[in-house]
Amino acid sequence: MSSLLEVRGLRKSFGGTEILRGIDFSVAAQELVFVIGPSGSGKSTMLRCCNRLEEPTAGHVFVDGVDLMAPSTDINAMRRRIGMVFQAFNLYPHMTALGNVTLALRKVLGKPREEAEAIALAALDRVGLKEKAGNYPSELSGGQQQRVAIARALSLEPKIMLFDEPTSALDPELVGAVLGVMRDLKAAGMTMVVVSHEMRFARDAADRIVFMADGQIVEQGTPAEVFGNPQHPRAREFVAELSR
């Protein structure tokens, strides 16, 4: 399997504090990798470096073989190949669900309105929200907003999708539908990196678990390995905490 995402020697400091202290990992095509770890371990920062929303202090990120850090790389062209879903959804409040999805299709891909809307409606349909196309974000529940956000990323036909705690801001009864969409994406062969605390989902959907602590990856393996027989003391502590 060729790796679709490859992170090498990634470091990130804020002020004098080093948040990421040398991260190396790769994600194969169609793989679903879950990144877990205690808060403050650098999971979100690591994810945000994977599309350079956060500028790494050192190291390299390759997506589909292209070095995101290379000066010759058109980062905007690469970013539409890297879908991102945020904890706070970040839908544009002044646009309808349809408008949220069509914006990048029109501005980045230069699609004419009609074509963009057709693509957007298909994407909204995939997340089960075609009938909400004309609604503004404020008229949607959190779970619906997050699914629109997924459709927004999906419509650009990304090679890989990054999920930054996609269900953390949701009421428990709304989590299921979002995870359902992610399950569908997995079934359709989407490559995904997910930072999340949804351990049950991690257990039965993830191909691999990456455990981070203090800005480093201290353990990784299949869910059975990491949850069943954690090796590193920090991972053991974390898993024990979860099963309490």
Partner 1 sequence: MTGLDRFRDAFLKPELIERYLPDILSGIAVTLQIAVAVVVTGLALGLALAVVRSYGYRLVNAPVIVFVDVFRALPPLVVILIVYFGLPNLGVNIPSFAVLWLVLSLVLAAFAEEIFWSGLISVRKGQWDAARSTGLSHWQALISVVLPQAIRICVPPLTNRTIAVTKNTALGTVIGVGEIMNQGTSAMSLSGNATPLMMAAIAYVAIFVPVVALGSWIERRFAWKKA
Q: Which residues bind partner 1 (CB under 8 A)?
A: 48, 51, 53, 76-80, 82-84, 86, 88, 90-94, 103-104, 107-108, 136-139, 149, 152-153, 156
d(CA 72, CA 93): 34
CA 108-3-53 angle, to 5 degrees, is 40
Distances (CA, A) of 158 to 170, 185, 207: 24, 12, 20
Q: State which residue, 94 or 200, has the beta carbon closest to partner 1.
A: 94
d(CA 142, CA 162): 19
CA dihedral (107, 71, 3, 24) positive or negative: negative
Q: Are 143 and 122 in contact (CB under 8 A)?
A: no
58 strand-pairing partners: 11
d(CA 30, CA 28): 6
Describe the chain by its helix, strand, coil percentages, rounded to 5: 40, 25, 35
Q: How far is the CB of 108 from partner 1 (least distance, A)?
A: 4
Pairing of strands 160-164, 82-85: parallel
184: number of Cβ within 10 Å: 14
